[in-house]
Amino acid sequence: MTGSGALLRQCPLLLPQNREGTAYEGFVTAQGRDFHIRILLPMDFQLKNARIECSWHLKKILRGYQHILKQRLHSCPDLVSFMVELKTILEIALKNTQDLHIPRPPEYYSCLVRDLEILGWNKVAYVDTGLTTIKLKAEDSCGRQHLMTLKLNAKYPTEPPDCLVDFPVQFAISWMPQNSLIDIYNQFLAALESLKEFWNAVDEVDGKTWVLEPENPTRSATTRKIAIGNNVSVTIEVDPLHPSMLPECYFLGADHVVNPLRIKLNNNMHLWDPEISLLQNLKDLLEIDFPSRAVLEKSDFAKDCGICYAYRLNGTTPDQVCDDPRCGQPFHQACLYEWLQSLPSSRQSFNVIFGECPYCNKPLTLKSSVKKL
């Protein structure tokens, strides 16, 4: 597994606690200090449902950054990339907590107030009482509202502020000591402009189809699970830098419905036209019309699990279905796993369990949609 090697390189002190790779415990290092941490992943390895247990000390340092951490849990594709983000956020947080105790020279305040005046107070959404955290707002050319949080250290403007944004890509600013907030703001506007096509594409999907996951997509979210029909969906992964290209598509549903869609996607791939919208391209390639928000309710697609009778279970949704065309009952992966494990007639081969559907008794396999770490 290449993934676990990468994790070991990034966080040599974070070790797996079980064979399944769902529990990790150890230390994360930032600024030469080690902090105790435990990470528990759900059965389906979905990071957004991970539980993170920190020591009280680490919790105190990360106070005020929970929102960003949550955002990163939603947008990171795997544990390794999340740990990289966590370390970056921790570095910023540590720097800022140490920095808070350094008295700021009068020039800090005069420079900052002048910078804010040049920028215009109408672009300021929030300033804390100590003048160390500033939130700036901006509207992109398509009318979307965005926020940028700046954390200023005592050496401002010799050192640049840390900028935190809700982007699907890294936002690194270029800074020189003679620069001011308006330079950062202009870089923010330029970045918004460069991401415009991406947000246009996902906004159209969000507005015109039933997006099952994520429930409330952030501006950094690049995946969408779109309902196609009852218990059938496609998850797309849009490249934020190339939003007009064919995204990665993963179908979910019974074989007899999903296989024809896969074939259409393969056969029609050459029809993809970067000049028209992503949603229209998907419709053309799959030769379908996505169920419209105007006509149908979300509950028409979000069918409960046939074992626990709930839709959401620890943050997961039913993502396994019986392949029998007359049954098609959906289940949570965790519920089906437990069910099949308890049956003496089930057998397991590597990551696949063969058993019977609890509803129609037809043969059923628990497909491993599990991402390897």
Of how many residues is the chain composed?
A: 373
Q: Does 354 engage in binding with Zn ion (CB under 5 A)?
A: no
Q: How far is the CB of 338 from Zn ion (least distance, A)?
A: 9
Q: Does 357 engage in binding with Zn ion (CB under 5 A)?
A: yes
Q: Does 337 engage in binding with Zn ion (CB under 5 A)?
A: no
Judged by CB under 5 A, the residue of 322, 340, 353, 366 near Zn ion is 322
Cα separation, 219 vs 256, whole angstroms: 35
Q: Does 332 engage in binding with Zn ion (CB under 5 A)?
A: yes
| CB-neighbour burial class of residue 354 (10 A; exposed 0-12, middle 13-18, buried 19+) | middle
* C-beta of 6 vs 308, nearer to Zn ion: 308
Q: Does 288 engage in binding with Zn ion (CB under 5 A)?
A: no
* C-beta of 163 vs 212, nearer to Zn ion: 212
Q: Does 308 engage in binding with Zn ion (CB under 5 A)?
A: yes
Q: How far is the CB of 166 from Zn ion (least distance, A)?
A: 32
Judged by CB under 5 A, the residue of 74, 205, 324, 355 near Zn ion is 324
14-43 footprint of Zn ion as x/- string (CB under 5 A): ------------------------------
Cis ω for the linkage preceding 157 (within 30 of 0): yes
Q: How far is the CB of 363 from Zn ion (least distance, A)?
A: 9
Q: Does 305 engage in binding with Zn ion (CB under 5 A)?
A: yes
Q: Which stretch binds Zn ion (CB under 5 A): 15-23, 109-117, 272-280, 308-316?
A: 308-316
* C-beta of 36 vs 303, nearer to Zn ion: 303
Query: SS3 string of the chain?
Result: CHHHHHHHHHCCCEEECCCCCCEEEEEEEECCEEEEEEEECCCCCCHHHCEEEECHHHHHHHCCCHHHHHHHHHHCCCHHHHHHHHHHHHHHHHHHHHHHCCCCCHHHHHHHHHHHHHHCHHHEEEECCCCCEEEEEEECCCCCEEEEEEECCCCCCCCCCEEEECCCCCCCCCCCCCCCHHHHHHHHHHHHHHCHHHHHHHHHHHHHCCEEECCCCCCCCCEEEEEEECCEEEEEECCCCCCCCCCEEEEECCHHHHHHHHHHHHHHHHHCCCCCCHHHHHHHHHCCCCCCCCCCCHHHCCCCCCCCCCCCECCECCCEECCCCCCCCEECHHHHHHHHHHCCCCEEECCEEEEECCCCCCEEEECCCCCCC
Q: Which stretch binds Zn ion (CB under 5 A): 57-65, 256-264, 273-281, 333-341?
A: 333-341
Judged by CB under 5 A, the residue of 159, 360, 365, 367 near Zn ion is 360
Q: Does 359 engage in binding with Zn ion (CB under 5 A)?
A: yes
Judged by CB under 5 A, the residue of 30, 307, 353, 373 near Zn ion is 307
Q: How far is the CB of 250 from Zn ion (least distance, A)?
A: 21
* C-beta of 68 vs 322, nearer to Zn ion: 322
* C-beta of 7 vs 322, nearer to Zn ion: 322
Measured CA to CA in angstroms, residue 11 lies from 23, 175, 321 at distances of: 14, 30, 37
* C-beta of 50 vs 322, nearer to Zn ion: 322
Q: Which stretch binds Zn ion (CB under 5 A): 31-39, 244-252, 272-280, 349-357?
A: 349-357
Cα separation, 371 vs 363, whole angstroms: 24
Q: Which stretch binds Zn ion (CB under 5 A): 93-101, 200-208, 210-218, 329-337?
A: 329-337
Residues 169-188 that bind Zn ion (CB under 5 A): none
Q: Does 327 engage in binding with Zn ion (CB under 5 A)?
A: yes
Structure-token pair, residue 228 = 């196609």
Q: Does 202 engage in binding with Zn ion (CB under 5 A)?
A: no
* Cα first-last separation, the chain: 7
Q: Which stretch binds Zn ion (CB under 5 A): 4-12, 113-121, 213-221, 323-331?
A: 323-331
Q: Does 136 engage in binding with Zn ion (CB under 5 A)?
A: no
The contact set with Zn ion (CB under 5 A) reads 305, 307-308, 313, 322, 324, 327, 332, 335, 357, 359-360
